[in-house]
């Protein structure tokens, strides 16, 4: 199938592009490189540098290639930044996503998989969280994701679009060639590994007084390869599952201290910590129930144990200590 991957120069999108290619699909990546990297895009994908806000660029792409499905990863995805710049988040994650939808309608492309987020649950009342849990985001980023889920509901009904929303929990891990390189990096595992490589002096634990077994937050880490496989499964079965939302998590929670201990064991580095106060808006426990995803999609996460995730991220980080940085040499 000819698949358009928006945001395919970013972390999850580039890995999905890689996995789609291994499944025999032809991949077209559309990315404005605002935070992604040209080098992250697989060589056999066709790359278009462009912004979702640019209607003509989208029209050119759809007119030139018989795109049959879209996987929509492009977005701004930093919670803290979304609190400071909400309108930029609504413009990019909602208005620009509508541009994409409208272009799909103009060019009669009927299949879409959307990257949603656990952020739509806000402060969940239970763990693990099933999809029918109340959606109550507590930051603009979560609001933008939920808003677009609702827009898809309406547009699906009006246009016959087949779509699925995949709500990822904490994406983590790497393939051999692709890993996580966000700037600024706000995600826990890459920060731990930056300390192990001597790129940061210590690891801040934000909050040690949560009502959890060791006082630190509990999160559900899911390997980016398993996320990519969920996309492949969702696309294969889209006609049957259209309109559904799916949690993409491992069904298991790990505390920040457990992630720290795993990183210490995998890297052999002591990884010094500083204990800091809680960050506003960090729920104590965020763990997915992935029962529906397993039952309905037949998804079986293979690489989402914490050890496998950290080992794969560490292997990538050692191979590319400066990530995709153009300015610095990657290690041989």
Instruction: Point out the residues that are catalytic.
Output: 141
| DSSP letter string, 60-82 | HHHHHS---EEEE--S---HHHH
Contact 233, 297 (CB under 8 A): yes
* Minimum separation from the CB atom of position 91 to ligand NAD (A): 9
- Toward ligand NAD, which CB reaches closer, 91 or 197? 91
Binding site for ligand NAD (CB under 6 A): 7, 9-13, 31-36, 51-53, 73-75, 77, 92, 96, 115, 117, 168, 170-171, 182
Contact 167, 147 (CB under 8 A): no
> What are the C-alpha distances in Å from 150 to residues 84, 157, 214?
24, 11, 37
Contact 39, 17 (CB under 8 A): no
Helix (H), strand (E) counts: the chain: 12, 14
Both tokens of 311, joined, read: 């080992």
CB neighbours (10 Å) of residue 85?
15
* Minimum separation from the CB atom of position 270 to ligand NAD (A): 27
* Minimum separation from the CB atom of position 332 to ligand NAD (A): 25
Give the total residue count for the chain: 332
Bridge partners, residue 246, by sequence: 166
- Toward ligand NAD, which CB reaches closer, 155 or 171? 171
Both tokens of 115, joined, read: 């990257």
């Amino acid at each position: 199938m000819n698949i358009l991957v928006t945001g395919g120069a970013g972390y999850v999108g580039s890995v999905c592009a890689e996995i789609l290619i291994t499944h025999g699909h032809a991949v077209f990546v559309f990315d404005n490189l605002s935070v992604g990297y040209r080098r992250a895009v697989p060589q056999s994908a066709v790359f278009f540098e462009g912004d979702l806000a640019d209607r003509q660029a989208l029209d050119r792409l759809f007119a030139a290639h018989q795109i049959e499905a879209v996987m929509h990863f492009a977005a701004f995805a930093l919670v803290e930044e979304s609190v400071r710049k909400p309108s930029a988040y609504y413009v990019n994650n909602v208005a620009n996503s509508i541009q994409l939808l409208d272009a799909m309608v103009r060019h009669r492309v009927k299949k879409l998989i959307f990257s949603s987020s656990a952020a739509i649950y806000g402060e969940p009342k239970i763990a693990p969280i099933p999809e029918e849990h109340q959606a109550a985001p507590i930051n603009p980023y979560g609001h933008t994701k939920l808003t677009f889920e609702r827009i898809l509901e309406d547009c699906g009904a009006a246009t016959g679009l087949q779509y699925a929303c995949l709500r990822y929990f904490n994406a983590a891990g790497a393939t051999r060639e692709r890993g996580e390189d966000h700037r600024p990096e706000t995600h826990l595992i890459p920060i731990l590994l930056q300390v192990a490589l001597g790129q940061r002096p210590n690891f801040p634990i934000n909050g040690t007084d949560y009502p959890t077994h060791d006082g630190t937050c509990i999160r559900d880490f899911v390997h980016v390869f398993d996320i990519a496989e969920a996309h492949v499964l969702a696309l294969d079965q889209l006609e049957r599952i259209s309109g559904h939302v799916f949690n993409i998590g491992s069904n298991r929670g790990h505390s920040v201290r457990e992630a720290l201990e795993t990183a210490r064991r995998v890297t052999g580095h002591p990884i010094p910590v500083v204990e800091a106060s809680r960050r506003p808006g960090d729920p104590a426990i965020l763990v997915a129930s992935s029962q529906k995803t397993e039952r309905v999609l037949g998804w079986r996460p293979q690489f989402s144990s914490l050890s496998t995730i950290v080992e794969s991220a560490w292997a990538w980080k050692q191979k590319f200590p400066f990530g995709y940085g153009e300015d610095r040499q990657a290690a041989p």
